Every structure is written in structure tokens, then in C-alpha cells.
Structure 1
Amino acid sequence: MARHLIQGREVATPVRIRDAMACTASYLVRADAARAVIAYSGLDVVEVLPGKALCTLAFLDYTEGDLGAYHEFGVTFLVRPPEAGPAPRRGLRRGLSELLRDGAGVFVHWLPVDQGFTLEAGRTIWGFPKELADIDLRLSSPYKRCVVRQDGRLVLDLLLRPGLPVPAPGLTARTDAYTHLDGVTRRVPWSVAPRGGRVRPAGALIRLGNHPVARELSELGLPGGAFLTATASHVTMRFEEAKTL
């Protein structure tokens, strides 16, 4: 067990999130554009279809955990593990669950939060690219909405329509999250257990603002239709100690 001193408070890994609500919208984007966006990391995206990568936008309401209560928004990409070697030949890729079993992970490209403690903890412990932003979550109705603003500029306004219930008793997904900060890429073993899940094809409405991240998303092809949207009313997570690549 490693211990970290954050703003005068000790945080030990693994860090546990005991309850959160999570909402995601996944998009099939041009693989060449996605590679250009994350080139700084030294990682490569997974082509889930020929010429297509998976970009997922996520917003979360953390209500109980080792880092306190806060809101978070994330821009992530499905990536190949660094040790995977040359990319496979183009062609129809395998299912997502098989890709994860083979070591595909989630690269966290941008991760604004609305509280200073989790910002410092995330950057210090794991190298997560956390930044402060205004994150307005509206989660009380079946429609879930997230509005992100930073430095007075709109990043995006994202609305998710409700999906169909997906029973997942006892399901725990284990994968690696990848981060890059101050020139260093890290691997973070990560597990997540959702309950109260709903999933549907499409189901997202998005309006982009004039923030640089909004322009980046536009270059990826957003606000085109989402491939898949998902919500989970209760999520627990566990983040292990980061390892430098």
C-alpha cells in the first residue's frame, strides 16, 4: 500500500470510490484523427472497425469515496497496450469484451473536475490530466445532461436519452487506464462495478462550444450520432498505484 500526502491529508492506494453515477456516450471517430489527438502519449488507438476508433465522453457524479464528492467529465479513447506490437491488419475487429481481455485500455485525454482536492490527488497519484472547470450535471430525470464550461467558454452541452435496463449482478470490469502528464505516460490498473445500468444505441444530443477541446472534438467528427450511450445509477471503483511506462 502506497501513501500520498495531498493538501495535508493522507491518501492510500488503492483508492476506492464507494458510490457514483456514471453516464457515457461513445462515438466512432476517424482513427487517423484520433491518433493525431493522442500522439503526445506514445499510445495507439484500437481500430474497432476499419479506419474507426472509439472515443467516449463520460460525466460522473462522485458522491462517496476516498477523494470526496465532486463532478467530473472525461474525453477518453480505447487504446492498444504498449507491449502489443504492430497493429493487426485492417478488417472487422473483435468484440469490445474480447479487446479488453486482450489488454486494450482506456486513455484519458482530458479530465476536468470541479473540486481542488481531487484535482491535486489525480494529478499527483496517477498523472490524470485533471483541470478545474464548471460542470453542471442534471441527473434527477430519466434524461441525463452535462454542461461543461472552462474559463467562461462553453466546451459542450451533452444530453443522453434513457436506455433499456441491463441487469449486471456482481459484474466487475477490470482494465487499465492510461494517463499522460508532464511528459510521462502511466498505466493505472482500474476496476469498476456498475449497478442500475441502462444502454441504448445512439441516444445522445451534443452541442459544442468555442473551447479548444470543443474544436478538437469537432475535428474528430462530433457532433455526429453516438454509437452507444450508457448510464449506471450506482458505480463502485478501485484505482491501484500507477506504473510509469
Structure 2
Amino acid sequence: MGIPKRQREIEGRHAYVDGIRYVMPINSWEASAMIAAFPCDYDAAAALLPDAYVHPFRYFGRALLVVTVIDYRQTDIGSYIEYSIAIACTKGRDKAPPLLPALFMKSFGTGQFVVDLPVSSEVSVKGGRGIWGMPKHQANLDFKTGLSWVSSQYDLDGRMVSRFDVRRPKKVWAPVNMGATNYCQFRGMIYRSFIYFKGKAGVHLMHPDSARFILGDHPNADPIRALEHRPTPLFAAFIPDVQGVLDDYFDCWFVTPNDLPEKPLGAGLEVTYPLGYSEDWLKPPQRDATFDLDKE
């Protein structure tokens, strides 16, 4: 699925939302990305999803933890890194059958529910959370490319949350021209947004030691640790040169649990209106000096 016709039709038009200016479409034209999907505990994954017609994708009795890091070097709001930790999911009143949603993605609303989404810059937080409902927050991030590994680390408050490594494929050959659906919770609602990618990827399929997702001792890692993800990913990929378009269209609906909530269902507008428009990054995370990106 390529970029929708509407995004091409509005090319060159202007938007000004929450004090942020955009030249349409909202795109990135110089970026690198890495992604991997790790089988994980289904019940633990379901516990992280709100009661809002969103269910974990079922893969042989397990769910899938999807980790994606994108190094955006050229965008309408400057450069930043985006580090996504998500659960592959479907949309509907009932759980979808196993595996079929991977083939019929539109019919089952196949996408990912974003659990945590640290980014480098404040303006990315303000736009991503305030407009699209993404759970963005500023953190210490990096994106490093070596001869053998591509790696990104996520620190917060001086402690490591996680480190994500993907082994560099020998060849980058697989064409990527697809869309992805993100589900996020904000203001007691589910926001569904759409992004489109184009590039060429190097891919590993069910290959041991093709990717590593290492959790640290920061409390933000605890919900992810409960997923007990398997070390061998279903797939892992590195896209050294990728172009992306974030759709200006999104939709949303209420989170509707059976029981009366005792407190607000997640963060609200109070977390976005005080934010400014800085493109500055926090200092890089504190790396393990023994990890060599060039060593097999």
C-alpha cells in the first residue's frame, strides 16, 4: 500500500496546528530505521491494551512485541529519533483469528498499539501527542550504525530503559512500500493514525541473534519485562534510507471499560499545553563501553 492519493493532492499546501507549521504532506526525506518483532506472552500483552475494541495479534498462542526506531534527520520539525515499543494488534468487537490479520490487514484493522514512545525533541512531543495522541515524551536517545550492528539506546532519569540492536544484513535488497497503522491512548480515547514508508530493507527471518532487545532497571521497563519476550525475533530489518509520510487524517473513539474508572484513563491535555517548540536534544544515553558495534 503506497502513499494515498490525497497526500499527493495536498502537496505544497500549508498547515498551522498548535503553533507548529507544516508544509504538506508531513514527511521525512532523510531517515534510517530498524525494526524487529519478538513473540511474547499473550495475556501480558492483552493487559497493556485498553478496553476499546483493540486486541493483541495472535501468533501461535502468543502476541508480538514490535520495536521500531527511526532516525529522522530531515523533517518539517527538525531532526529527532523516535523509539517505539508496541504490541501488534487488531481492531474489532471480538478477537481476530490467528495469523489471518497479517494477510487481510485492512479488514482486521491490523496495526500496533504503542505502549511507549520516547523521542529526542520537545517539539516532536508537542506535535505527536497533542495532535495525533501518540504517547511521546522526551528522553535520552541515540542511533548508532557500526559495521556489524545498528543500535539505539533509551535512557531516562540517568537509567537505562532499553537497548535495541539489529545485526546489519549483508544485503539491503527488499523493496518496502507500505503503510502502517498506529493505535495510541490519550485523553481517555484511542487515536488511530497512519504512516507510509518507502525504501529498501535488509531482512532477517527467524534468525537467532539477528536482533536483541535488552531491558534496563528503569521503572518504564517493568511493563515490557512482564511480556517475557523471546530472544529470537520473528523478523528483524534495517532500512538505511527510508522516506516517510505521516497522514494528516486520523480518527479516534472513547475507551469504554465496563467498570467506572477511579481515575483518568491516561494522560490528558495538561501534559501538552505547557510544552514549547524546542528542537534541542537531551544528552546521549550512557552506553556500555564493552559493546562494540563493529564486532561480530
For the criterion TM > 0.5, the same-fold answer is yes
* Paired residues for 1:1-245 under 5 Å: 3-6=15-18, 8-11=19-22, 14-39=25-50, 42-49=53-60, 51-81=61-91, 84-88=92-96, 93-94=99-100, 96=102, 98-102=103-107, 103-169=109-175, 171-195=176-200, 197-200=201-204, 201-202=207-208, 203-222=210-229, 224-240=231-247, 241-245=249-253
Find the structure with the greater CA-based Rg.
2
Partner Cα separation in structure 2 for residue 44 and residue 94 of structure 1: 14
Q: Secondary structure at the match of 1:34?
A: helix
Partner Cα separation in structure 2 for residue 11 and residue 232 of structure 1: 25
Post-superposition CA distance 1:94-150 (Å, at most 9, x none): 373x14243311222211011111111111220110011000221243411111101
Show structure 1 runs of 4+ deviating over 6 A. Answer: none
TM-score (norm 2): 0.72
Supply the RMSD in Å over aligned alpha carbons.
Answer: 2.2
Structure that is richer in strand per residue: 1
Partner Cα separation in structure 1 for residue 49 and residue 101 of structure 2: 23
Unaligned runs of 5+ in 1: none
Partner Cα separation in structure 2 for residue 154 and residue 11 of structure 1: 33
Q: Secondary structure at the match of 2:226?
A: helix
- Mark the CA change 1:24 to 1:175 in structure 2 (over 3 Å): closer, same or farther: closer
Does 137-146 or 8-17 show the bigger shift?
8-17
Partner Cα separation in structure 2 for residue 126 and residue 13 of structure 1: 16
Q: Quick one: which amino acid aligns to residue 30 of structure 1?
A: D
Unaligned runs of 5+ in 2: 1-9, 254-296
Partner Cα separation in structure 2 for residue 88 and residue 72 of structure 1: 29
- Mark the CA change 1:134 to 1:3 in structure 2 (over 3 Å): closer, same or farther: same
Contact 1:125–1:242 at 8 Å: present in 2 too? no
State the percentage of identical aligned residues.
23
Q: Secondary structure at the match of 1:185?
A: strand
